Structure 1
């Protein structure tokens, strides 16, 4: 029988972000009392009047003492806060993504939290030793060739699994690129802004994405269902970038890219930008990790989430219909 959230206290990190904001709204609709971290940007405009129903706290997840004080009477923790970037150093990513998660896990153990929901990423699954197929049982094959972001997400997730071994009930969710209605200047939604400006070329890799509403539904299921020590890949589909960019372009009423670009050409642009940056002072928008992701052909399996927590998964086409209606 599902656990009821009504009247429960839920602590959310990253609640002023794209994903965290949707989760916060959904948790409030369930009748829970939400305690949330004020974000660095602290933009609560998306939340509207719901923001007034939240107890906002100014604490640093890198400060264990302040965390302990806030988590003393909390029932559930939903950890969504992290740095998402291909242009950030491993040390910077480790500080928030790994150390912050470790602190939150440690304090949750001390405070007797009922369940800890960790929003990870498909990046934390690494790459398969053979082939292109990835599921929840795939093993991390080492840091070599992995982006600093992926390494930080993997290490953060290891802190959560450590907490599980020490007695903390946890569920890990590994979403792909999260899309939906929101601020195009932040998170993965910046892809909309880029495409709206005009994109002429498409890479040959596969594009994996998930609707933010499915991520939110998975969080609720993870809390309410009697499950622990499980991870779920949240991914609607694995489709060619050409089709994905056409679908997104149609949703944004702009012309879709029609020319294929090779990895060699993109690498040339990357190195040219690096050279010119010495003279212009402007950093390159490309990175080796981003280029690698544009041409990868990994397929992420969503069967476990469909079967065990009953997430039907909204197609990219339907996500873009929703986005189009919001314009």
Structure 2
């Protein structure tokens, strides 16, 4: 089967392309530049712009299924480029898919399209969405992108939406010269013995390989217009970082700062950190840990047959991968 992946050179894209080739598909890998980490056969690279209708229509010619992964991840409160890419980009790909007769579109959205700050500690596919202006732009734009897709579904496109939680694990080579994903980069630092302390709290973290599998299951079994939360397992930060350090025989974090302290200083610390070019201390960076909702992935399990692997296995596999690819360093 001929399938297409937008954002194919990214973190999730790299893993999804490999899985699709293993499943016997011919993959059209759409991105701004070709990756050095795609399989040697079964992949055709197309330089494409998800904001350009003609570009997308050309790339999707003869394609049966398109997986849309392109997104701009940012911790800023507002960002015009991220907003446009995460909303207009979804609509452009969807309209091109409809016009070219693509059988199905799978949109990789995010758990952030749901309002984690006002969910009462529990989140599923019926939970409140990220709509209010005080929510960071990434969260709001992911929900707005889903709304744009629903408009094209109403015109006849067969599409389904997946919402992964905190994605981590191998294979991660960085994206087009960028660093590893945020959580992978932090776990790498811990494996190097460079993280003396973390904050309390945790989140639902999911293996990127399970996300790739979930996306293909959604293409096969998902109901048109429906959302599926692709969850992993609740993990507290201290345990994860200590495990990453143990894999290399390093000393992990000694303790965790209470999140209550971070919450109190956040209004002052966030603008101060921003002046020095850091977004580590921000509502967007700390919000999920502070909220720490229980994310219910039962729908994907029951309807798609989705089954995430243990988080401890992912941490070990990640560190081993970084060692094998010489990305761990000293």
The TM-score normalised by the length of structure 1 is 0.86
Going from structure 1 to structure 2, the CA distance change for 1:116 and 1:297 (only over 3 Å counts) comes to same
Gaps of 5+ in 2: 324-330
- Give the ranges of 4+ consecutive aligned residues of structure 1 lying more than 6 Å apart after TM superposition: none
| 1:78 CA drift (Å) | 0.3
| 1:145 CA drift (Å) | 3.1
Going from structure 1 to structure 2, the CA distance change for 1:141 and 1:124 (only over 3 Å counts) comes to closer
* Counterpart in the other structure of 2:289: 294
> Is 1:46 aligned to residue 37 of structure 2?
yes
* Counterpart in the other structure of 2:90: 101
* Counterpart in the other structure of 1:157: 146
1:117-149, CA deviations, whole angstroms, 9 ceiling, x for partnerless residues?
A: 011110011237452100112131632431111
* Counterpart in the other structure of 1:20: 13
Q: Secondary structure at the match of 1:139?
A: coil
Contact 2:119/2:127 (<8 A) preserved? no
Q: Secondary structure at the match of 2:38?
A: helix
Deviates more, 1:24-33 or 1:128-137: 128-137
Pick from 243, 248, 251 the counterpart of residue 247 of structure 1: 243
* Counterpart in the other structure of 2:225: 229
Q: Secondary structure at the match of 2:37?
A: helix
Contact 1:248/1:320 (<8 A) preserved? yes
Query: 1:171-250 alignment to 2 at 5 Å?
Result: 171-181=160-170, 182-183=172-173, 185-188=179-182, 189-197=184-192, 198-225=194-221, 227-250=223-246
* Counterpart in the other structure of 2:328: none
| 1:209 CA drift (Å) | 0.7
Question: C-alpha distance in 1, partners of 2:151/2:133?
Answer: 23
Gaps of 5+ in 1: 1-7
| 1:252 CA drift (Å) | 4.9
| 1:38 CA drift (Å) | 2.8
> Is 1:314 aligned to residue 305 of structure 2?
no
Question: C-alpha distance in 2, partners of 1:129/1:138?
Answer: 9
* Counterpart in the other structure of 1:5: none
Contact 1:36/1:55 (<8 A) preserved? yes
Question: C-alpha distance in 1, partners of 2:53/2:199?
Answer: 44
* Counterpart in the other structure of 2:2: 9
Going from structure 1 to structure 2, the CA distance change for 1:274 and 1:124 (only over 3 Å counts) comes to closer
Question: C-alpha distance in 1, partners of 2:273/2:122?
Answer: 38
How many equivalent pairs are there?
Answer: 313
1:201-254, CA deviations, whole angstroms, 9 ceiling, x for partnerless residues?
A: 232322211111211111221222363222211111123322333333334543
| 1:16 CA drift (Å) | 0.6
Contact 2:241/2:253 (<8 A) preserved? yes
Question: C-alpha distance in 2, partners of 1:253/1:293?
Answer: 30
Going from structure 1 to structure 2, the CA distance change for 1:274 and 1:137 (only over 3 Å counts) comes to closer
Question: C-alpha distance in 2, partners of 1:149/1:323?
Answer: 26
Question: C-alpha distance in 1, partners of 2:299/2:173?
Answer: 30
